[in-house]
Amino acid sequence: MSRAITPRVAVVTGTSSGIGAAVVAHFCQQGHQVLAVDFNPDGREVAEAAGAVFYQADLTDADACRSAVAEAVSRFGGVDILVNNAGIQHVASIEDFPEAKWRQIIDLMLTAPFLLTQAAWPSMREKGWGRIVNIASVHAQVASPGKAAYISAKHGLIGLTKTAALEGGAQGITANALCPAYVKTPLVDNQIADQAKLHGMEEQEVIEQIMLKNAAVKRLIDPAEVAELVAYLTSDAAGAVTGSSWNIDLGWTAQ
């Protein structure tokens, strides 16, 4: 017998498309109150269509991270679930990687999840219940050329996840990371073109020879598949699951 879903308050970042949009839609279908946070103003239409409240923020700014959580607390009375999903990509060799782009990626994809977790923690602690899901990547487990900042941020996110799990266990707060391989999102679509330029390849060759080279299942992942796993990890049923990195990587790391 399946358990009834308890309505919760969720903050999700990076919600204008892809994984974030799929998570917001799934949460709203479950009856959760959702604050959808994104830098892109086009995210408002996506959020409101799903039944969520949109909050525009540049999460590379520390005050914006804190303000997003404060908005959820003010509007909904607290935060039960935090999904750190916002991310960007830049493909270049280490030798050519711009320092400004490095700092932007680390700020958005590692510092912001820390600050959002820190801001949401008191609400979760007071309730004695919290779920943190960090959308990492298969590149939190393995590396590839041309993605120094992205891979460094994702590896760091696993460390943050494990630390949050250890500190939150006694307070009813769990923290887990998801490590998907290539998901069919605008971010990945942009990477295909960037990788083609970097390696001097056709775009279809990038998909077949780079993105799916190490996959046992030869296809891109649908964002809804990731959202389903997020839904489980943020449920009451997953109360014993914490500090884990969940690979949804088409068999990439089975080698």
- What is the domain-level CATH number for residue 46? 3.40.50.720
Angle 24-26-27 from CA coordinates, rounded to 5°: 65
Residue 213 covered by a domain: no
Q: Which domain holds residue 226?
A: 9-181+222-249
Residue 32 covered by a domain: yes
pLDDT of 2 reads: 56
Residue 202 covered by a domain: no
Residue 42 covered by a domain: yes
Q: Identify the CA nearest to 37 among candidates 46, 179, 28.
A: 46
Q: Which tokens in the block code for residue 144?
A: 């590839």
pLDDT of 1 reads: 41
Active site residues: 150
pLDDT of 162 reads: 98
pLDDT of 193 reads: 82
pLDDT of 187 reads: 79
Q: Identify the CA nearest to 146 among candidates 59, 206, 214.
A: 206
pLDDT of 5 reads: 85
pLDDT digits (tens, 9 = 90+) for 72-82: 999 999 999 99
Q: What parts of the chain have a pLDDT lower than 70?
A: 1-3
Q: Count of CB atoms within 10 A of residue 128's CB? A: 10
pLDDT of 192 reads: 85
Residue 166 covered by a domain: yes
Residue 254 covered by a domain: no
Residue 3 covered by a domain: no
Residue 206 covered by a domain: no
Q: What is the pTM of this model?
A: 0.94
Per the structure, the count of domains in the chain is: 1
